[in-house]
Chains A and B, each alone.
Chain A
Amino acid sequence: MADFIRAFPLAAAVPALEQAPRMEVDIVETDQGYRLKADVPGANRKNITVIVDGNTVTIRAQVEKEEAVENRRMLVTERVVGELVRSFTLPHEIDESRAEAAVVDGVLVLTLPRRTGTRVEVRHGAEGKLARAPAAAPAAAGTSAAIVNLKINGSDYPLKLESRVTLLDALREYAHLYGTKKGCDQGQCGACTVHVNGRRVLSCLTLAMQAEGQQVVTIEGLATDGTLHAMQEAFIRHDALQCGYCTPGQIMSAIACIAEGHAGSDADIREYMSGNLCRCGTYTNIVAAVREMAGATASRQGQTS
């Protein structure tokens, strides 16, 4: 038995819930093996354990649930911690060394490659149903929620979203990446600026579904191994922020501004940073930070060319 997701330890033994919330599960057969999606209410990375044993997959999720209880003759709602356990038997043994998992907004997505050369007797239990993957999955044609596969800062985020969810709301409310800020939510302030395929765009006027299959980079994706991006360091050095709310958007915009070649002069920087408003009025220091980084980029290019 291999507990292959060691990043998801079970905190402690907890009682099974008497009236457990349902764990909605869908299993699809793929070329490589199986993809399992489980809608686990209240789940996060810390409270799910997945155990693979041959052709059996077990999901143990510690969940919270609200229950009405009587307390001093008043009916109050209390949060109850319990455990959901579901077990699935698949037609093939799973190669747990290549299995992958992600949990986003309560949707657990398991990629379960089959171990080659194995075929075992299928015992359909009451658990999840097996279905063959459609030849070409059509883009969400209906108005109901669909799984949207976003690539954010190099990681996959399969999110269950309605069509109307903007990239901004997907980042903040579904992927739980709160660095990107919502200011005006109508394309006037620039606080929500992110990079899509290397270009700076406003995530508040982009549908999450438009961003499917594209490379999204947010402020969280800039630091590497705990070291801030040089532009983040420059903003700190030049005190280019006061309250900080517009700063993630300013920094994403500033990096793109230099990459586009629009930081050749202070006038250029002001023109091409004009889509990012700062109510604290730190523009002078923002220009100084961008100017310094533009100079550093230019001298670095001069050395290498």
Chain B
Amino acid sequence: MKNFAYSRAESVPDAMMATASHTGARFLAGGTTMLDLMKCGVEEPTALVDITFLPGLDGIETGPDSVRIGALARMSDVANHPVISRDFPALSESMWRGASEQLRNMATIGGNLMQRTRCNYFRDPSYAACNKRDPGSGCAALDGINRGHAVLGTSDHCIATYPGDFAVALVAFDAMVHVRSAQSHSIPAADFFLLPEDRPHLEHPIAPGELIVGIEIPISGALRRSHYLKVRDRESYEFAVASAAVGIEFEADGRTVRDLRVAMGGVATKPWRARQVEAALNGRPLDEPTVRSASKLATDGAVSHGANGFKIELAQRVVARALMTIGGIK
């Protein structure tokens, strides 16, 4: 790991100033992604501004209309929060099914949103071709070992999978990301993650010096009846091969769908909202044939790159199983 200057920010303006005024400076929170990528030689900051001691950014509030989580709340604080785990299952499940408790004790919510892909070609600079790491250098994964890579949202320049779980739930339930810059602004979670297109090195619509200060998830009937299903190569402590955050609110008859949410992880270049599935099921009574047929729409436009072709059918099945679980269909 190359050496760097370390400092602790004492206020949000202090932190923003420290990174904006120093080329190569980066924020440091839990460090679980940053230090890992610095050891790989992918991240080479010249200065790290430690923001974990900033006061007042680690709160979790569950009000009548929304859940608000400070950017410095730890993943374990969210996963183990009594109200969140009781009332908003997809938020808690997508947290505790990610990483390990040690990592969840370190990683912050803001840092979690900035988590970077696990693409092995991105993580290993001995491969020259990686448009995300070195724009214009090519993509080694297109013709490489790509069983874990994305089938949705890919381009000729990058097929790296978005690895996270929590953001999948955020996208399903219309969360907002609050960012502090010269003027504070809020970005819908769905827009916080950019498609790779021809510039995969750009991953988020925020500039150096801008700081995530919190997220807000509106409370809905679908969020109360929600679930995060994660399918992976081992039972625990593993990234998703395919996952789904789903939620359903029924009409008074208890059968007809009033509001349905579906987003997928592990199969796309960003947390992937499956609006076609939602549109196909909204207003209809839920049963297994309907769910299975609608779930096939989840992978509209999917492209196989060889070894990852199995993810297309797997994603459909994961969506169907998750919907049947919360829909009460055995």
User: Is chain B a partner of chain A in the same complex?
Assistant: yes
Asked if A162 lies at the interface with its beta carbon under 8 angstroms from chain B, I say yes
B-contacting residues, A173-187, CB 8 Å: 185-187
Report the bound CA distance from A210 to B6 in whole Å: 9
Contact among B36, B40, B237 for A274, CB-based, below 8 A = B237
**Which A residues lie within 8 Å of B1 (CB)?**
164
B-contacting residues, A104-147, CB 8 Å: 138-143
**Which B residues lie within 8 Å of A256 (CB)?**
101
The answer on a CB contact under 8 Å between B31 and A200 is: no
Contact among B36, B48, B50, B99 for A186, CB-based, below 8 A = B36
Shortest beta-carbon distance, A257 to chain B, in Å? 7
A-contacting residues, B147-162, CB 8 Å: none
Chain B, residues 64-102, CB within 8 Å of chain A (1/0): the string is: 000000000000100010000000000000001001111
Knowing A205-B36, A206-B106, A271-B236, say if A190 contacts B4 (CB, 8 Å): no
Majority secondary structure, B binding face: mixed
Asked if B3 lies at the interface with its beta carbon under 8 angstroms from chain A, I say yes
The answer on a CB contact under 8 Å between A275 and B35 is: no
Report the bound CA distance from A277 to B84 in whole Å: 29
Q: Which residue of B lies closest to A208 (CB)?
A: B6
Contact among B6, B80, B102 for A207, CB-based, below 8 A = B6
Asked if B103 lies at the interface with its beta carbon under 8 angstroms from chain A, I say yes
Asked if A209 lies at the interface with its beta carbon under 8 angstroms from chain B, I say yes
The answer on a CB contact under 8 Å between B101 and A260 is: yes
Report the bound CA distance from A199 to B103 in whole Å: 11
**Which A residues lie within 8 Å of B255 (CB)?**
none
Report the bound CA distance from A270 to B235 in whole Å: 10
Majority secondary structure, A binding face: loop
- Interface size of A as a range: 35 or more
Chain A-chain B contacts (Cβ-Cβ < 8 Å), number = 90
B-contacting residues, A188-206, CB 8 Å: 190, 193, 199-202, 205-206
Contact among B7, B40, B102, B237 for A200, CB-based, below 8 A = B102
Knowing A187-B32, A206-B106, say if A163 contacts B4 (CB, 8 Å): yes
Shortest beta-carbon distance, A7 to chain B, in Å? 33
Knowing A186-B36, A260-B80, A274-B237, say if A163 contacts B103 (CB, 8 Å): no
Please list the 10 inter-chain residue pairs (A to B) with the smallest Cβ-Cβ separation, ordered nearest first.
Answer: A275-B100, A274-B236, A163-B6, A274-B237, A199-B105, A164-B1, A205-B35, A164-B3, A209-B6, A143-B3
What would 27 A/B residue contacts be, using CB atoms closer than 8 Å? A139-B7, A139-B8, A140-B5, A140-B6, A140-B7, A141-B7, A163-B6, A164-B2, A164-B3, A186-B40, A187-B32, A187-B103, A201-B106, A202-B102, A205-B31, A205-B35, A205-B36, A205-B106, A206-B106, A209-B6, A210-B28, A210-B31, A253-B101, A260-B101, A274-B100, A275-B100, A275-B102
B interface vs A, CB < 8 Å?
1-8, 28, 31-32, 35-36, 38-40, 48, 50, 52, 76, 80, 96, 99-103, 105-106, 235-237
